Structure 1
Amino acid sequence: MTSESMLLAVDFGAWTSEDWSAASAVATALLTLFTVAIALAAALYARQQVTLARQLREEQAQPFVVVDIQDNPVWRQAFDFVIENMGQTLAKNVKIKIDPPLTSTLDSDGYPLQSTPLLTQGIPSLPPRKRITALFDVGADRREAGLPMKYTATVEFEDAHGRPQEPLTYILDLSIRYSLLSMTEYGVHDAAKALREMSKTLKETRRDLNQERQRQRAIQRAIDELGSTEPTGTE
């Protein structure tokens, strides 16, 4: 006889009070174990959520140093080398390594970016949202010079408590900037430039008008002098 048949063959009417008490105790124990299992599962889930929330808060509170090459907002043909802490806390002892070393057509002017303390000595402290920008190169001149178009930047830094953070690596690829389409947005600098050109044009126009006025006066004086020297006829 199978266990299912034995269960079906149980005569509950023949059970004594002791049998019912024993069955009740077993059912209570099983229910208690089930309740404990649910409580343990809920506790483990809550602990996991607390751990994830703490990790998220810690990650959000960490510094996040970004190295990039961006378009110069004033000189549209130029590139800027940009370092920025986009995190919410202080970054300390920021060290930046560039491979291969940065080279620019502006190096010959006496401003080699690779030799500046920014890259040779690092940055002692970089507050949140702090942005450091340096003119890097001019697009057309760089392409003609045949300088490297791709660099690998590795950033090492510490958090506000001096704990080393995981190094970050960035690929600085200049070649894509020569194949991207973009729209020109004119700003205050463009307006100032246009005003200077208008002022220059007005000065040139005023000078031309003065010269034309002087020329007309000279012609009129010559006509007047010519008329005064002609002999008068007699009747």
Structure 2
Amino acid sequence: MRTANQLLAVDLRAWTPEDWSAAATVATAIFTVATVGIALAAALYAKQQVDLARQLREEQAQPFVVVDFVDNPVWNKAIDFVVENTGQILATNVKIKIDPPFQTTMDDTDYPLVSSPLLTQAIPSMPPGKRITAFFDAAPDRFAAGLPTKYTATVEFEDAHGKKQEPLTYILDLSIGYSLLRMTEYRTHDAAKALKEISSTLKETRSDLRGEFHRRRSEGERRDATATSDSGSSASDGTAAS
């Protein structure tokens, strides 16, 4: 029985032309198989890249409706609820479901958000970049009232061709903004409030000045009347004495 060394030992000098031809054929076959394998792997990788690129283009060319809470641009203590299509094509039949239903300190007004058409009806169409903003609540009043801080929003919509899109779910958590240090930013609301206070102060000052003016004028008129009376009395005394 031959050992492994004997099996592996090859005397190339003893090879005939037929042996060399057979070896070349085997080597060519192996090289061909390897080349085909590499080509198949490259083709598979290229297909994956094409599929990913197509998927990316399709995702980029879809409507994408976002809902969120944002700071009111006028009053820094107020919260707005916004709906926006950040995608590149038209969104249609947009429906928003809130769980649990919104509760705000403004619910006793004539325009409660929870029963507004924005939440009770479908938005017919939202072009790319379309943004709808609604006043939600005042943060200090809401915190003091102990109202819920977390809501789950589900958005259902279709594309411009009426194709139903995958529903999007958002967790709207107001507590994230609580107890955060932030710079005080005075906005239009603060400026209007300061102007009202200045106007009120000026009205009070003007009223005080008018009152002081009338008081002093009255005192002057009384002094003049007293002086006139005293002069009349002195003249009468002098006539009687003569």
Q: Give the structure-2-normalised TM-score.
A: 0.81
Using the alignment, how far apart are the partners of 1:141 and 1:17 within structure 2?
99
Give the counterpart letter for 2:179 in structure 1: S
Opposite residue 15 of structure 1, the aligned amino acid is W
Give 1:179's aligned residue: 179
Specify every segment of 5 or more residues in structure 1 that has no aligned partner in the other structure, as ranges: none
Match of 1:42 in 2: 42
Q: Which amino acid aligns with 2:39?
A: A
Q: Deviations over 1:2-44 (max 9, x none)?
A: 4553332x22122222322222222222222212211111111
Task: Give the structure with higher Rg (CA).
Answer: 2
Structure 2 equivalent of residue 168 of structure 1: 168
Distance of 1:143 and 1:30 partners within structure 2: 75
Q: Are residues 1:69 and 2:99 paired? A: no
**Any idea what the Cα deviations from partners look like across 1:126-182, whole Å, max 9, x if unmatched?**
122221111222334334444433322211111222221221222233344443333
Identity %: 67
Structure 1 position 106, deviation (Å): 1.7
Cross-structure match for 1:88: 88
Q: Secondary structure at the match of 1:48?
A: helix
State the shift of 1:93 in Å: 1.0
TM-score for both structures, normalised by structure 1 = 0.83
Q: Which moved more, 1:208-217 or 1:115-124?
A: 208-217
Structure 1 residues 197 and 4: alpha-carbon distance in aligned structure 2, compared to 1, 3 A threshold: farther
Q: Which position in structure 2 is the counterpart of 1:139?
A: 139
1:114-136 superposed Cα distances (whole Å, 9 cap, x missing partner): 22221121111112222111122
Aligned partner of residue 136 in structure 1, secondary structure: strand
Q: Quick one: which amino acid aligns to residue 18 of structure 1?
A: E
Residues 1:128 and 2:128 aligned together: yes
Three-state SS of the structure 1 residue aligned to 2:70 is strand
Residue equivalent to 1:14: 14
Question: Which moved further from structure 2: 134-143 or 158-167?
Answer: 134-143
Q: 1:196 to 1:31 in 2, by over 3 A?
A: same
SS for the counterpart of 2:137 is strand
Alpha carbons of 1:196 and 1:70: their partners in 2 closer, same or farther (altered >3 Å)?
same
Show the counterpart of 1:148. 148
Q: Deviations over 1:76-126 (max 9, x none)?
A: 333322212222222111111122222323222222222222112111111
What pairs up with 1:18-37 in 2 under 5 angstroms? Answer: 18-37=18-37
